[in-house]
Amino acid sequence: MASAPDLQQAKKLLESARLAAKHAYAPYSHFPVGAAILTDKGHIYTGANVENASYGLTICAERVAVFKAISDGVQRFQAVAVWAEKTPNGSVTPCGACRQVLAEFLGSETPVFFHDQANGAIRWLTMDQLLPAAFAPDSAQGDSSPHRDNNSLPD
Ligand code: THU
Protein backbone atom coordinates (compact mmCIF):
# COMPACT_ATOMS: atom_id res chain seq x y z
CA MET A 1 0.00 0.00 0.00
CA ALA A 2 1.37 3.41 -0.95
CA SER A 3 1.87 5.97 1.82
CA ALA A 4 -0.62 8.84 1.88
CA PRO A 5 0.34 11.68 -0.45
CA ASP A 6 0.90 15.24 0.71
CA LEU A 7 -2.41 17.05 1.36
CA GLN A 8 -1.10 20.51 0.39
CA GLN A 9 0.26 19.09 -2.86
CA ALA A 10 -3.13 17.50 -3.57
CA LYS A 11 -4.99 20.76 -2.85
CA LYS A 12 -2.67 22.77 -5.07
CA LEU A 13 -2.97 20.32 -7.96
CA LEU A 14 -6.75 20.15 -7.65
CA GLU A 15 -6.96 23.94 -7.66
CA SER A 16 -4.82 24.01 -10.83
CA ALA A 17 -7.17 21.44 -12.39
CA ARG A 18 -10.22 23.47 -11.35
CA LEU A 19 -8.83 26.59 -13.01
CA ALA A 20 -7.84 24.63 -16.12
CA ALA A 21 -11.44 23.43 -16.54
CA LYS A 22 -12.40 27.04 -17.22
CA HIS A 23 -10.63 26.68 -20.59
CA ALA A 24 -12.48 23.51 -21.54
CA TYR A 25 -14.02 23.46 -25.00
CA ALA A 26 -17.08 21.36 -24.28
CA PRO A 27 -20.01 22.71 -26.32
CA TYR A 28 -21.42 19.20 -26.92
CA SER A 29 -21.24 17.51 -23.55
CA HIS A 30 -21.34 20.67 -21.43
CA PHE A 31 -19.06 18.74 -19.10
CA PRO A 32 -15.91 20.82 -18.53
CA VAL A 33 -12.98 18.91 -17.08
CA GLY A 34 -9.58 20.11 -15.95
CA ALA A 35 -6.43 18.14 -15.19
CA ALA A 36 -3.07 18.99 -13.68
CA ILE A 37 0.11 16.95 -13.66
CA LEU A 38 3.02 17.61 -11.32
CA THR A 39 6.48 16.98 -12.75
CA ASP A 40 9.42 15.56 -10.80
CA LYS A 41 10.87 19.09 -10.73
CA GLY A 42 7.72 20.58 -9.21
CA HIS A 43 6.28 22.21 -12.32
CA ILE A 44 2.57 21.87 -13.04
CA TYR A 45 1.15 21.31 -16.52
CA THR A 46 -2.59 21.68 -16.94
CA GLY A 47 -5.10 20.56 -19.53
CA ALA A 48 -8.80 20.83 -20.33
CA ASN A 49 -11.04 18.67 -22.50
CA VAL A 50 -11.26 19.75 -26.14
CA GLU A 51 -14.32 18.46 -27.98
CA ASN A 52 -15.06 18.33 -31.69
CA ALA A 53 -18.14 18.37 -33.91
CA SER A 54 -16.96 14.91 -34.90
CA TYR A 55 -17.49 13.69 -31.34
CA GLY A 56 -14.99 10.84 -31.39
CA LEU A 57 -12.12 13.26 -31.90
CA THR A 58 -12.64 14.71 -28.43
CA ILE A 59 -9.59 14.62 -26.22
CA CYS A 60 -9.86 14.49 -22.44
CA ALA A 61 -8.28 16.96 -20.05
CA GLU A 62 -5.85 14.37 -18.66
CA ARG A 63 -4.36 13.55 -22.04
CA VAL A 64 -4.02 17.23 -22.95
CA ALA A 65 -2.06 17.82 -19.72
CA VAL A 66 0.21 14.80 -20.22
CA PHE A 67 0.85 15.56 -23.88
CA LYS A 68 1.70 19.17 -23.09
CA ALA A 69 4.34 17.96 -20.64
CA ILE A 70 5.72 15.27 -22.92
CA SER A 71 5.94 17.63 -25.87
CA ASP A 72 7.82 20.02 -23.61
CA GLY A 73 10.44 17.35 -22.93
CA VAL A 74 9.22 16.27 -19.47
CA GLN A 75 8.55 12.58 -18.80
CA ARG A 76 8.72 12.12 -15.03
CA PHE A 77 5.76 12.90 -12.82
CA GLN A 78 4.84 12.93 -9.14
CA ALA A 79 1.05 13.21 -9.18
CA VAL A 80 -2.05 14.02 -11.23
CA ALA A 81 -5.34 15.74 -10.35
CA VAL A 82 -8.65 15.69 -12.22
CA TRP A 83 -11.53 18.06 -11.61
CA ALA A 84 -14.98 18.30 -13.21
CA GLU A 85 -17.43 21.12 -12.77
CA LYS A 86 -20.46 18.87 -12.83
CA THR A 87 -20.15 15.82 -10.71
CA PRO A 88 -23.36 15.88 -8.66
CA ASN A 89 -23.12 12.19 -7.84
CA GLY A 90 -19.52 12.09 -6.79
CA SER A 91 -16.17 12.28 -8.44
CA VAL A 92 -14.67 12.19 -11.86
CA THR A 93 -11.88 9.71 -12.43
CA PRO A 94 -9.91 9.28 -15.66
CA CYS A 95 -11.61 7.38 -18.48
CA GLY A 96 -10.15 4.11 -19.71
CA ALA A 97 -8.23 5.68 -22.58
CA CYS A 98 -6.65 8.23 -20.25
CA ARG A 99 -5.73 5.52 -17.75
CA GLN A 100 -3.82 3.73 -20.50
CA VAL A 101 -2.01 6.93 -21.51
CA LEU A 102 -1.22 7.82 -17.88
CA ALA A 103 0.12 4.29 -17.29
CA GLU A 104 2.67 4.93 -20.00
CA PHE A 105 4.30 7.66 -17.94
CA LEU A 106 3.31 7.29 -14.27
CA GLY A 107 4.79 4.88 -11.77
CA SER A 108 2.36 2.31 -10.43
CA GLU A 109 2.22 4.06 -7.02
CA THR A 110 1.77 7.59 -8.41
CA PRO A 111 -1.37 9.19 -6.92
CA VAL A 112 -4.23 10.52 -9.02
CA PHE A 113 -6.32 12.98 -7.01
CA PHE A 114 -9.96 13.82 -7.50
CA HIS A 115 -12.54 15.77 -5.61
CA ASP A 116 -15.69 14.31 -4.14
CA GLN A 117 -18.09 17.18 -4.65
CA ALA A 118 -20.74 15.42 -2.59
CA ASN A 119 -18.83 16.04 0.63
CA GLY A 120 -15.74 18.02 -0.37
CA ALA A 121 -13.33 15.18 0.36
CA ILE A 122 -10.10 14.84 -1.57
CA ARG A 123 -9.75 11.28 -2.79
CA TRP A 124 -6.92 9.53 -4.55
CA LEU A 125 -6.10 6.27 -6.22
CA THR A 126 -2.72 5.00 -7.32
CA MET A 127 -2.06 4.38 -10.98
CA ASP A 128 -2.04 0.65 -10.24
CA GLN A 129 -5.47 0.90 -8.61
CA LEU A 130 -6.82 2.79 -11.62
CA LEU A 131 -5.42 0.34 -14.15
CA PRO A 132 -4.35 -2.94 -12.58
CA ALA A 133 -2.34 -5.34 -14.72
CA ALA A 134 -1.71 -2.52 -17.17
CA PHE A 135 -0.17 -3.04 -20.56
CA ALA A 136 2.63 -0.56 -19.88
CA PRO A 137 6.09 0.11 -21.38
CA ASP A 138 7.60 -2.97 -19.70
CA SER A 139 4.92 -5.20 -21.20
CA ALA A 140 5.49 -3.80 -24.66
CA GLN A 141 9.14 -4.79 -24.32
CA GLY A 142 8.18 -8.35 -23.43
CA ASP A 143 9.17 -7.72 -19.82
CA SER A 144 5.83 -8.22 -18.13
CA SER A 145 5.71 -9.86 -14.73
CA PRO A 146 2.47 -11.42 -13.47
CA HIS A 147 0.26 -8.97 -11.60
CA ARG A 148 0.00 -9.77 -7.91
CA ASP A 149 -3.76 -10.12 -8.10
CA ASN A 150 -3.77 -12.48 -11.06
CA ASN A 151 -5.97 -15.47 -10.69
CA SER A 152 -4.46 -18.73 -11.72
CA LEU A 153 -6.09 -21.97 -12.72
CA PRO A 154 -4.90 -25.24 -11.24
CA ASP A 155 -2.80 -27.46 -13.54
N1 THU B 1 -13.68 13.87 -19.99
C2 THU B 1 -12.44 14.28 -19.59
O3 THU B 1 -11.90 15.27 -20.09
N4 THU B 1 -11.83 13.58 -18.62
C5 THU B 1 -12.39 12.53 -17.94
O6 THU B 1 -11.78 11.98 -17.05
C7 THU B 1 -13.75 12.11 -18.26
C8 THU B 1 -14.32 12.68 -19.50
C9 THU B 1 -14.38 14.68 -20.98
C10 THU B 1 -14.54 14.08 -22.35
C11 THU B 1 -15.75 14.82 -22.86
O12 THU B 1 -15.35 16.07 -23.41
C13 THU B 1 -16.57 15.09 -21.62
O14 THU B 1 -15.69 14.93 -20.52
C15 THU B 1 -17.76 14.19 -21.45
O16 THU B 1 -17.41 12.87 -21.55
CA 46–ligand 1 middle distance (angstroms) = 14
Q: Whose CA is nearest to atom 13 of ligand 1?
A: 31
pLDDT of residue 152: 82
Is the pLDDT score of 150 beyond 80? no
Q: Which residues lie below 8 Å from residue 87, measured CB to CB, with a gap of 6+? A: 115, 117
Ligand 1 environment, Cβ below 6 A:
26, 29, 31, 33, 49, 51, 58, 60-62, 82, 92, 94-95, 98
Question: Which residues on adjacent β-strands are paired with residue 48?
Answer: 34
Q: Cβ–Cβ contacts within 10 Å for residue 45, how many?
A: 23
pLDDT tens per residue across span 83-121: 998 876 667 999 999 999 999 999 999 999 998 877 888
pLDDT of residue 89: 60
Annotated catalytic residue: which of 51, 62, 85, 104?
62
Where is pLDDT greater, at 151 or 131?
131
pLDDT tens per residue across span 22-69: 999 999 999 999 999 999 999 999 999 999 999 999 999 999 999 999
- How far, in Å, CA of 59 to CA of 125, rounded? 22
Q: 98-109: string of b/e by CB count within 10 Å (b at 16+)?
A: bbbbbbebbebe
- 128 sits in the region (left: phi over 0; alpha: psi -120 to 50; else beta) called alpha
Split at pLDDT 50, 70, 90, the class of 138 is confident
Q: Which residues lie below 8 Å from residue 155, measured CB to CB, with a gap of 6+? A: none
